[in-house]
Amino acid sequence: MKIVILFGSPNPNGSTGILADEFTKGAQAKGHQVERIDVCHANIHPCIGCIKCGYEGPCVQKDDVEMIRQKLLQCDMVVFATPLYYYGMSAQLKMVVDRFCAYNSSLNHRHLKSALLTVAWNADDWTFDALTAHYRTLVRYINFEDKGIVLGYGCGSPSMTKRSDYPEQAYKLGFRL
């Protein structure tokens, strides 16, 4: 299986990176191909709402979203990896998701598998409610098949994350595929 991780953390060595790395190790141990796209350091612009794409492209903006589009339309699974920023995904990852508009139909027809890897400093039981609701809505709308979610409560620093069981959960999620 070809897996694309949309990596939405501006810090590649942070807690989100730890989960993404462990997921990758687990998936690769089962023979899957994994590619990580660093959306935070890519040339991506927000959707301008012009709808010139007709929901099936091409987008009038010429940036790295076309490369992401090609990768997603050729893979079997997409993984959303993001730190929790004010109870949602990072703005950089949200820009990519918003730009799905330009290839919505093609993406919908792919029936991709998907997963969510996320971390937060906060450890309250409601911490991830808004993000998981958004992810589940996205899964339903774009016809993804959710394969799992890792919610890293209390992962405010890499050392906190490494001491938790969330890296192992991410590894197991990748390995179960």
Write the pLDDT tens digit of every residue in 117-143. 999 999 999 999 999 999 999 999 999
The helix (H) or strand (E) run that includes residue 176 is helix 166-176
Residues contacting residue 119 through CB under 8 Å, at least 6 positions apart: 14, 15, 16, 19, 83, 84, 152, 155, 161, 166
Write the pLDDT tens digit of every residue in 63-110. 999 999 999 999 999 999 999 999 999 999 999 999 999 998 999 999
Residue 129 has a pLDDT of 98
Q: Confirm whether pTM is higher than 0.95.
A: yes
Q: Domain ranges in the chain? A: 2-176
Q: What is the DSSP letter of 30?
A: T
pLDDT band for position 58 (cuts 50, 70, 90): confident
Backbone phi and psi for residue 78, each to the nearest 5 degrees, phi listed first = -120, 135
Quickly name the fold that domain 2-176 has. Answer: Rossmann fold (3.40.50)
Write the pLDDT tens digit of every residue in 14-41. 999 999 999 999 999 999 999 999 999 9
Within 36-128, residue ranges assigned H as helices are 65-72, 91-98, 104-110
